[in-house]
Every structure is written in C-alpha cells, then in structure tokens.
Structure 1
Amino acid sequence: MISWNRFSAEIRLMVLETVLHNGCNLASIATVSQEWQRVIEKHNFSRIRLTPSRLPGFRAIYRNRSLVRYIWFCLELEEYDCTGCSPRDPELWDLSEMDNSLITKGLEDLFSVLSVWQPGGDLTLDISVYSPSDSQHGFKYLTFEPDTVSETQDEHRLVERPMLSKPCSGAGGPSATRTFEAICKVFGEIMSNSPFDNDEQERRWWQQLPLVPIVTRVLLRQQTRRRWRPYTLTQMFTRMPRLQEVHYEPWKEWLHTDIQQRWTDEVLQTLLEAPFLARLRKLVLFENFNTVYPASFGIFNSDPRRITSASMGRALVNASLNLDSLSASFLVDAVDFFEETRGRCLKWPNLRSLALTSELLRPAKNPTKLDDMLRAAAATALNMPNLETMELWNGLEEKAMLVRYRRARLRRPATIEWKGTWEMTLSDPVIEAWDAVALKYSNRACVTIGKLVVTATPIRSHGDAIRLLGLLEMVIRPVSLRQIVRENTILEEMGED
C-alpha cells in the first residue's frame, strides 16, 4: 500500500478538500494523521454556531481559539402556538420579560467568554434573534441560516422545507394575508419594555460588561425581524474597541406616519453620530421592506419604502468621512447625501467604494433632477482621491436601474455607465462632470456605456433587481439576498402579490 506521505502536497490537498465537503463524519477521520487533524480542526472551528445554553462549554475552548473566524450567536426566543401568533393586546407585540432576560443574560455570558480572547486575527460576530415558532405560523417561508460568502452556498439545505402551505388560522385564516397583529408580533422591538426602565439604566448595564477586542466585524442580518434599538446597538458597538466593519439590515418601520418617520430618523441618526463610527472601515446599511405586508395594516397602510430626509443624508455624510467603503440602501436617498456635501470643504481620503439608492432612478421621474444629482455625485467624487467605484441604483417590481462610475485601472479607461430595464440617456453636462473626475485621477476622459437589460424572468422585488443589476459592491449579505428573493417568489406563488 502506498504511504499517504508519498503523494504530492497538491494531491493530498485535493483529497482533504473532497473529504471536507462530502458531508462525512469529520471527527472520525481526524485521527488519520496529524496533517488531517490540523486541516479538519481548522475547518471545524472556523465557523461556530452558539446559543446561550452552549456558552459554558464554549468557554472551555483554549487550544483552538485562534482557529475561530466566525460565530453565529442565535438568541432563540420562547416558542408560541396559534393562540399567541397574532395577539390582539398591543402589550404582547414586543418581546416578553422572559425573552428580554434571555437576550441580556446571553449577551452578558457571550461578552464574558469573548473578553478573555487575545485579539489577533479577525472575528465576525453574527447575531440573530428569532423564535423557532416564527416559521410555523404566519411566516412559514422564513429561514434562519448562518451567513455565507456566496448566494449559492448551502442553498440545497432549503429544498426539503414545505413552505407553500397557508398561514395558520391565528395569523390570517384561509386568506394568505397576514394580520396586522401577526406582523407586529414578529417585528417587536428588542429590550424596549424590559429589563430596563430607561436608557440610563441600559447604559449602565452595558458599561459593566467587559470589552471584547477580539470582535472586528458584526453582522445584524434581515432574517432578524425583531428590531434592535439604535441606542442598544450604539452601546453594544462601544464595547468592541477593534470593531472595523458593520453590516446592519434593519426592516422598515411599518407605521408610516409623519410623526413615526421623524422619530425613526432621529433615533437612527444617533447611531450614525456615535463615536464608534470613527474607527470603522466599512459600513453596510440595508433597510429591507416587503410590498405585501402593508396590505395588512388597513388605515395605517403605507408605501413599502421609507420617505428619506435631509437630516439622515447629513448624518450619513458625516459618518462616511473616515470610511474605506460605504453602502446605504433605501435608508438614505443619494439626493440627500450629495446635497449635504454642497458648499462644504469635505474630503474622503480613504473611501474606495460608495453605493447609494435613489428614487430618481425610476421611469418618468424628473430628468432635470436626475441630472443635477449625477452632477452633484461627480462633484463629490472629486474629493474622493481613492474612489474606485460609485454605484447609484434603484430597484423594485419590474424596474431596475444602475449608474456606475469605475476608476481607470491597468490599461482600461474610467467608465460611466448605465444599466437597467428602460432606456436612459446621460446628458452632456453629466458626462462632462464625470470626465472631470476621470481626468483628475487618470488623465483620461470617461468611456460612456449603456446597457438595456431584457430578462425572461420577472423582477418580483428589490432582491431580483439587485441580482439583475450585478452590483459590484456587496449592498446586502448574499444569504439575505437569497432569502428576499425566495420570500417574494413564494408569496407570489401563494397569490400574495
């Protein structure tokens, strides 16, 4: 028999990679050799799923701490039955005292465990808050998954789940529309009514938690429909002194009144103005929405997208000045962002990529205002010496549009291009404005490109639009994009479009 060590390093690596991905019991073969043990341990410990009940055992990990690169921390709330999935009492919409206590105790224990880890490499902390019952009642299509690096990774795991059954009787009866109460239940606010009576009590609680310098990236993905208070997130991120990257995918506020909108903007601004942002390198904000849910709100029915504001644009501009990468989708309109840069002597010395959405990128919108925005974007880009890409986009049902600037690279010239589902013409003043950017940083004018996209598959949602446009910047986590596309596909098949 040929010895394992007689094979070349390349062949041994191919065999090991096959073993790692064929679904066999890795623990049973880790003893084949020290080489196999090293590779399998690195694979097993690189990505870990934790729940509060598993933290005591996780605390005992010493030798393999340096192998951990990703922790998916699942805060599973109490389960409920059909009598509790659509509560009439508004006091039952937010999390219960038991659920909030579970969250605070879980965070206390997690921070205690991670605080003793020596900072060295990068560690991603991915936090999900959900009840296992959420996908058993009015939202049977929901999935709760770890983060992935691509859209297709692990997609086969979802095939076997029977998602097309109607919601239970408590969530809306035979009609597939979810009740107002069922939506409020799943979108309840985290740590709003308990265990703290006010913000000062919560601040003192966070201050007594140890620092966790090991965490460098935080993911708060859209599969958590419960709402984090921006104040809570500010306090949490303050306890992470080496935090460099945040991906935050909140859901839109459904009660779309002027008062509610102003309050939502005010609390979000406190997050964008928090001191921890000064040390971030990358910020990705994606405000998710669903065009079906508002139908359940009756007289409170609202547009699925938010009305953006100048104050939010100003806060995002100020937050962006030290970043390497910024993406903000639907939370802020690009018009407000660039308007807030006018007349200010601002510089973005590190910014390499910028992605923003705008309602002006829709058919039949005012072309003069669109030209003004694109010229303002170019004027802002003049103060971004390291900018490689700027993507301005929008997408909803059946419509999608992208305007993208790419800096000259290697022997390729800078480009200003549009790509979308309707014809767009970039005016001469817009092209001249972007030529000025290209000439400043590459001594060559832009090449203008236009691409009309015709697709045989329907654009059901903003998720389909993102796929169609082929954005270079990761505006949303790949697994979140897959979940959005899948949810809207299933809702259409259930007749909820």
Structure 2
Amino acid sequence: MPHFYSLPAEIQNMILGFVANTTSPTPHTTSSPPYLPSLAPYACVDKFWNSFFESRTFKNLTITQADIPSLSHIVGRRRRTLLEHLWLRIALPNYGTSPCKRDEKPKVIWRLDAVFTRSISDLWDVLSEWDSTGHKGMTLELGVFSPSDWASFMSHVCSVQQDVELYKHYLASGSTEQYEAVGDVHWPYIAMHRTFNPGQGLLTTAERKQHWFATTNNLLGWKPLEFTDNAAELPPVSVVTKFLIRRQQFREIYPTALNKMLESLLSVQDIHVERWRCAESHDEKAWCKEAQRTFGLLLPPSVKSLSLYGDTSSILQKWVAKQATVVSLAKTLRQYTKNLECLSISHLIDAKEFLHPFWPANSEEAIRLLPDWKNLKRLSLTSDIFNTGKEKDVNNLLCAAARAARKMPSLEILELWNGNDERASVFRYRANGEMTWRGTHIPALNDEVIRAWEAVSVNNTRPCIRESFKPINTDDITSTRRVIDYLASKDQVLHPVSASRAIGKRKRNDLADYERKAKKRARSDTN
C-alpha cells in the first residue's frame, strides 16, 4: 500500500481538502454543539497535517461571551497569525414579552446593557494583549441577540439562529449558495404581519396594533444598547483592521457605544455597519444625530473605508424617511471624510444634502475654493430624488455630482442610486470614461448631464465619456433592495451575505409582494 507522502503533492492536498470539507471548519466552543466532526484530531497526525488543518481551523472563529475566558488559551501566539475573522455573538438574557407592553422596564434595559458592556470589555481585555507583529490584521464582527427578541411562536424560523451555521459555511468557503433557499432575514415577520390584518383572527384593530408595536420593539430593541455608566475605558487593540456589523442583527447599538469601540481599535481601516433603523422615528433621529460624532468628528484617522447602510421595512418602521432625516449628518460626513478612499452611505442621508455645496446655485469660484477629496476612489450614495423627484431634479443632482467629482482626482467609480416598489435608478461613472444610466422611468440623460461629466474627464485627465443607457424592467423591482443587484459597488454597499439575502434569487414571491403592498398602504396613510 502506498505511503501518504509517496503520493504527489496535488493528491495529498486533494485528500486533506476532502477531509476538511467533511468536517467542521471551526473548533467547537462551549456555545455551539458539534454538527460535524472536528478537524482537531487530524491536526495531531504530524507537523504537515497540523499546519494544513490549523490554517483552516483558526482562519475563522465564532464565539459568544462564554468563550472569551478560554480564547487566549485556544488561540495561542502562533495561531493568532492565522485568525482572519472573529465573530462575537453576544447572547443577551431573556426578558418579558407581553403583547400589552408599551415600554421596557428600566431594570431590564440596564440588565441588557450590562451584559453587552461586560462582553465587549472582556473581549477587548483579551485582544489588547495580542501582538500585531506578523499579523496581517483581522475582521472583528459583532452580533447581539436575545432569544426574547424573536417572537416565540416563530422560533423555528428564527433567521438570526439559522444564520449561525450558514455563515460559518460562508466563512469557510466564500459561497452564498446556502442562503438561496432561506429568503431574507425579516421574511418571517412579513408572514407574521399578514396574520394581523383586519378580518384575520379574533383581535380588535387596537389590539392588533398594540401587539405589533410590542413585537417590533422587541425585535429592534426598545432602546439602543449602550455601555453602562460604570463601564471602564476600553484598552487599545492593534490586531483589528476591519469592524463589521451585518443586517442579520436587528438590535440597535447606540453610536456612543460604537464610538468607544472604534476609537480603541488603533489599526482599524475598514468600518462596515449595516443596521435596521429604529422602530420609532424620534429614536432614529436621535441615533443619526449622535452618529455625526461617531462617523464624522471622531472617526479614527486610520480609517480608509466607511460603509453605512440603514435598512427599513414597511412592516417594521411605520414612519417615512423625512420624519427621521438629520440634514446635519450629511454635512458632517461631507466635512470629515475627506481622507477616506472608499465611502458608501445608503438610506441614512440624501446625496442632495451631501452634494449641497456643488448645487447649481453655487458659483464655479465658490466650488474651486472647496477642499479636495484627494484619496477618494469609490463613492456610493442614495437619494430620494430618484424616487420622488422630477426629471429636472434628477438632472440637477447628477450635475452637482459631476462638479463634486472634479474635486476627486483619484476617483475610480461613483454611483448614485435608489429605488422602491415602483421605481429604480442607478447612475454610474467610472474613471475609464464609462457613464451608465439605468432606470425604470427616465430612458436617457439629457445633454447638460453628459457635458457636466465630460468636464470631469477633462479636469481629471481621464478618457472621454462613453454613455450607456439601459432600462430596468419594473417587474424586476419589488423594493430598494432589488436595486442593489444593479450596482457595480454592491460589495461595498452590503456584505456579500447581506446582499445575497436582501436581493434574493427569485424576482417575486408572495412575501415580497405583501411587503410592497404594505408600503403602498403606508404611503397612502401619510398623504
């Protein structure tokens, strides 16, 4: 019988790869049961096998706060250089979920904040002792969830819990195929909302509204999580280069807590935060006001890429965007992101406000005196003008963007976009001269817009403009999330897993149609 090492190196790697693909890619922790055999025994065969399997075993780790005390022991000094992605899933305690609840008890809020604070503090204490020498840097992902957040009678379809094993598979393989059959993260709540329709069940209209109010606030949080008043300062951490929160998490985290985490990450270069916006408009407005400090005035100087995404659903947020608009957030982000290389802000500010100094009313001389975005390579923004404005408004926005682009000498790609259940618009400019317009209601751009972008190419010494106009089929659009599929900067706007779930493989289904109709009803109610 041939010896293993007598086989060609390619065959050896194929065999070890097969073993790796049929076992758990991460070591078992106290927080998760073993669904597949562990790789650990294979790593004990010899040094070659040890090196091969440990490089896979410790590439990605998923932990809860219960695993933090043993983290440094499990991930020794040599193994730390292998770790590329650490996902902390903070398990919050249970709490009462009465359908009659109109607010959360202060002691419950304090208890949730205390667990959150302690978990972050404990992890930072561990990571602060890790030496970044020889470490390429790792992604720190944060998730927070209480079993009580999710409606109890839908626990069998809890997308937050389902995501754990699906995401581990993604981290190991890079594939999102496993998400195609599960739908978007909030679809169980769309299905649940249908049961609250008039004529469904025995509840009165007032009882239905109250029950749904309590349900959505449990899911999104009655109050954004914050650090407790007695929280100690977080120690500096040098091994984290990317901070990530995906829209798989529904609970809000207040910007002050995010700021304390981010300012202690000495080497962070990439901040990517996806969030479901608050259930109540006044809470959302408060979040956006405080975000001016976290992602503007106090943004760490090491950051090169910032991506913020604010998601909504007509069944979870009963307010319209203008009720939570904080114009000063757009101004702050414009002023304090001059040194970034990549910037993506979706559904939290309007591109019109971000580009305000470049609006047609301002003179060329005033624009010339504005500072440049010397390093900016990629910019993606959303605007309600695409959904509600006239063709003239769209033209003015795109001309303002062209004036701004002349202040971006390193620009590689700029995208402005938005959509709803009836409209979709995507404008794209590339430094190679490609200018693309895709829309459902405006077939092509006028000559004024084209001339404005031709001036960008001349100013930035780039190739001449080549226009491309491609319509978007209205039947392909059920919500703003579907528009993401048309973006060249899709992975900058949303994490690949988030984009896969938000876009969905199927163009239409009954749940998407129901959400679309609910949004129409909400619009008619506010008019």
Aligned position for 2:429: 405
State how 1:261-272 maps to structure 2 within 5 Å: 263-272=286-295
Distance 1:58 1:77, change over 3 A: same
Q: Give me the identity figure in percent.
A: 25
Alpha-carbon distance in 2 for matches of 1:493, 1:451: 25
Aligned position for 2:84: 69
Contact 1:223–1:480 (Cα < 8 Å) also in 2: yes
Alpha-carbon distance in 1 for matches of 2:448, 2:192: 53
Contact 2:149–2:220 (Cα < 8 Å) also in 1: no
- What amino acid sits opposite 1:103 in the alignment? F
SS in 2 for 1:248: strand
Distance 1:262 1:28, change over 3 A: closer
- What amino acid sits opposite 1:434 in the alignment? W
1:88 positional shift? 1.5
* Range moving further from structure 2, 111-120 or 263-272: 263-272
Alpha-carbon distance in 1 for matches of 2:58, 2:509: 35
Distance 1:95 1:16, change over 3 A: farther
Aligned position for 1:298: none
Alpha-carbon distance in 2 for matches of 1:72, 1:403: 35
Among candidates 450, 461, 469, match of residue 450 of structure 1: 469
Residue 333 (structure 1) aligned with residue 358 (structure 2): no
SS in 2 for 1:129: strand
TM-score by length of structure 1 reads: 0.84
Aligned position for 1:104: 117
Residues 193-248 of structure 1: per-residue CA shift (max 9 Å, x gap):
x732xxxx5xxx342x3211111111122222222111111122111111111111
Residue 49 (structure 1) aligned with residue 62 (structure 2): yes
Alpha-carbon distance in 2 for matches of 1:304, 1:95: 30
1:95 positional shift? 5.0
State how 1:185-200 maps to structure 2 within 5 Å: 185-188=218-221, 189-192=223-226, 195-196=228-229
Distance 1:235 1:492, change over 3 A: same
Aligned position for 1:322: 339
TM-score by length of structure 2 reads: 0.79
SS in 2 for 1:276: coil
Distance 1:167 1:476, change over 3 A: same
Residue 350 (structure 1) aligned with residue 375 (structure 2): yes
1:156 positional shift? 7.0
Distance 1:385 1:455, change over 3 A: same
State how 1:296-445 maps to structure 2 within 5 Å: 301-303=318-320, 308-340=325-357, 343=366, 344-362=369-387, 365-408=389-432, 414-445=433-464
Aligned position for 2:27: none
Distance 1:138 1:449, change over 3 A: farther
Aligned position for 1:22: 22
1:151 positional shift? 6.8
Alpha-carbon distance in 1 for matches of 2:310, 2:148: 24
Aligned position for 1:143: 159
- For structure 1, the 5+ residue unaligned runs are 295-300, 409-413
Distance 1:104 1:473, change over 3 A: closer
- What amino acid sits opposite 1:317 in the alignment? R
TM-align CA RMSD? 3.4
Aligned position for 1:34: 47
- What amino acid sits opposite 1:466 in the alignment? I
Residues 416-460 of structure 1: per-residue CA shift (max 9 Å, x gap):
11123334321111111111222333453100001113376x533
* Range moving further from structure 2, 420-429 or 239-248: 420-429
Structure whose residues are more often helix by fraction: 2
Aligned position for 2:137: 122
Contact 2:190–2:315 (Cα < 8 Å) also in 1: no
1:46 positional shift? 0.9
Residues 50-99 of structure 1: per-residue CA shift (max 9 Å, x gap):
1111111112131312111111101111235xx61535141339953322
Alpha-carbon distance in 2 for matches of 1:453, 1:385: 31
Alpha-carbon distance in 1 for matches of 2:196, 2:154: 9
Alpha-carbon distance in 2 for matches of 1:121, 1:272: 25
Aligned position for 2:29: none
- What amino acid sits opposite 2:355 in the alignment? F
Contact 2:114–2:228 (Cα < 8 Å) also in 1: yes
Aligned residues: 470
Aligned position for 1:132: 147
Distance 1:135 1:90, change over 3 A: closer
1:368 positional shift? 1.8
SS in 1 for 2:260: helix
Alpha-carbon distance in 2 for matches of 1:90, 1:109: 30
Residues 125-166 of structure 1: per-residue CA shift (max 9 Å, x gap):
11111112433437655422356576725427959x995996
1:469 positional shift? 4.5
- What amino acid sits opposite 2:340 in the alignment? L
- For structure 2, the 5+ residue unaligned runs are 24-35, 519-527
State how 1:235-274 maps to structure 2 within 5 Å: 235-256=260-281, 263-274=286-297
Distance 1:462 1:425, change over 3 A: same
